[in-house]
A and B are shown apart, each in its own frame.
Chain A
């Protein structure tokens, strides 16, 4: 199975843009898997953010749809998350993951993003 590693700023100012990257190693993005972002506010449960297929097809959580964008860079074997107009409610541990329907078999270790001035 592939290995995933999130990276990006750990602190974002309110109203700013959260940008994270997930590097994929040990395999290619161009598989039948969907490349997914999941987040977890401190002390709370998991929230599905969205997913992308290597061809560029995306699905987003409607609660975030106007602010979220997921993209893929096959040349770098990575995919990225952008979340605009962030507030304190977006403070969370952000995980990237891969898999198919109800089968997220590979996960990154997670990266904590805090929204604060």
Chain B
């Protein structure tokens, strides 16, 4: 299985800050990578697909980059509704593994 490792595992930030979450794959996943946001008790929401494409309806303060094994999710100008847990997922090979998650808390 391809292991997906996110860092940090948790981060505290303030409204208006910029944060960067990284996701590293144990093998090349090309650009078959997605980022999801999940709030407690809710389903994940797709933010970014194909490593850098913004899903329809997602604010432009979210952006993704990377290819191969190293990827980043950047959130500019954090808003109160952005405090949640974020997951990356690879779909280059089966099983389509997720990262362990990054919890974003309000400082």
A117–B42 CA distance with the chains assembled, in angstroms:
27
From residue 46 to 66 of chain A, which have CB atoms closer than 8 A to chain B? 46-48, 51, 59-63
Count contacts on A: residues with CB < 8 A to the other chain.
23
CB-CB < 8 A to B42: which residues of A? 109-110
> What is the total of A-B residue contacts with beta carbons within 8 Å?
68
Asked if A26 CB lies within 8 Å of chain B CBs, one says no
If A61-B95, A102-B91, A103-B49 touch, does A46 touch B34 (CB 8 Å cutoff)?
A: no
Q: Which residues of A contact B45 (CB under 8 A)?
A: 107
Distance (Å) between the CB of A3 and the closest chain B CB?
Answer: 12
**Interchain nearest-CB distance for A55 vs B (Å):** 18
Interface residues of B in 1-18 (CB under 8 A from A): 1
CB-defined contacts of A107 to chain B, threshold 8 Å: 43-45
Chain B residues contacting A63 (CB-CB under 8 Å) are: 95
Chain B nearest CB, measured from A19 CB (Å): 20
Interface residues of B in 52-87 (CB under 8 A from A): 55, 87
Q: Can you list 27 pairs linking A and B with CB atoms under 8 Å apart?
A: A46-B38, A46-B87, A46-B89, A48-B89, A48-B95, A48-B97, A51-B96, A61-B94, A61-B95, A62-B94, A95-B43, A97-B43, A97-B44, A99-B46, A101-B91, A102-B91, A102-B96, A103-B55, A104-B34, A104-B36, A104-B44, A105-B46, A105-B49, A105-B55, A107-B44, A109-B42, A110-B42
> Which residues in A have some Cβ–Cβ distance to B below 8 Å?
38, 45-48, 51, 59-63, 95, 97, 99, 101-105, 107-110
The 7 closest A-B pairs by CB, nearest first: A102-B91, A107-B43, A103-B49, A102-B34, A61-B95, A101-B91, A46-B98
